[in-house]
Amino acid sequence: MKARAFSYHRAHSVDDAREAHARSGDDARYIAGGQSLVPALALRLQAPRILIDINHIEELRGVRCDGEWLRIGALTRHCEMLTDPLIAEFAPLLRAAAPFVAHPAIRNRGTLGGSVALADPASEFPAMMLALDAEIEIAGTSGRRRVRADDFFIDLFETAVGPGEIVTAILVPRFRCNQRICFDELARRRGDYALVGCGMLATCKDGLVETIRIAFFSVGNVPTRARSAEAVVSGARIDADRIVAAQAALDRDLAPPESDEVPPAMRLHLARVLLGRLLARMSEAA
Ligand X SMILES: Cc1cc2nc3c(=O)[nH]c(=O)nc-3n(C[C@H](O)[C@H](O)[C@H](O)COP(=O)(O)OP(=O)(O)OC[C@H]3O[C@@H](n4cnc5c(N)ncnc54)[C@H](O)[C@@H]3O)c2cc1C
- For binding to ligand X (CB under 6 A), which residues are involved? 29-37, 39, 54, 74, 101-102, 106, 110-111, 113-115, 117-118, 120, 123-125, 161, 166-167, 193
- Minimum distance of ligand X from residue 234's CB (angstroms): 28
Q: Which does 5 bind (CB under 5 to 8 A by kind): ligand X, another protein, none?
A: another protein
- Minimum distance of ligand X from residue 160's CB (angstroms): 11
Asked if 253 contacts 229 with a C-beta cutoff of 8 angstroms, the reply is yes
- Minimum distance of ligand X from residue 217's CB (angstroms): 8
**Quick one: which of 161, 196, 150 has its CA closest to 32?**
161
Asked if 149 contacts 129 with a C-beta cutoff of 8 angstroms, the reply is yes
- The half-sphere exposure of 279 on its side-chain side, counting CA atoms within 13 A, is 30
Is residue 186 close enough to count as binding another protein by CB under 8 A? no
In angstroms, rounded to a whole number, what is the distance separating the alpha carbons of residues 240 and 280? 8
At residue 176, what is the residue type?
Answer: R
Helix (H) and strand (E) counts in the chain: 12, 14
- Minimum distance of ligand X from residue 125's CB (angstroms): 6
- Minimum distance of another protein from residue 236's CB (angstroms): 36
Q: What residues numbered 52-71 form the site for another protein, per CB under 8 A?
A: 53, 55
Q: Which does 188 bind (CB under 5 to 8 A by kind): another protein, ligand X, none?
A: none
- How far, rounded to the nearest angstrom, does the alpha carbon of residue 127 sit from its chain's CA centroid? 4
Q: DSSP for 107-163?
A: HHH-BHHHHHHHT-TT-HHHHHHHHHT-EEEEEETTEEEEEEHHHHEEETTEESPPT
Site string for another protein, 88-127 (x = CB under 8 A): -----------x--xxxxx-xx------------------
CB atoms within 10 A of CB 23: 12
- Minimum distance of another protein from residue 142's CB (angstroms): 30
Q: Which does 18 bind (CB under 5 to 8 A by kind): another protein, ligand X, none?
A: none
Is residue 12 close enough to count as binding another protein by CB under 8 A? no
Among 11, 21, 28, 34, binds another protein (CB under 8 A): 34
Q: Which does 84 bind (CB under 5 to 8 A by kind): another protein, ligand X, none?
A: none
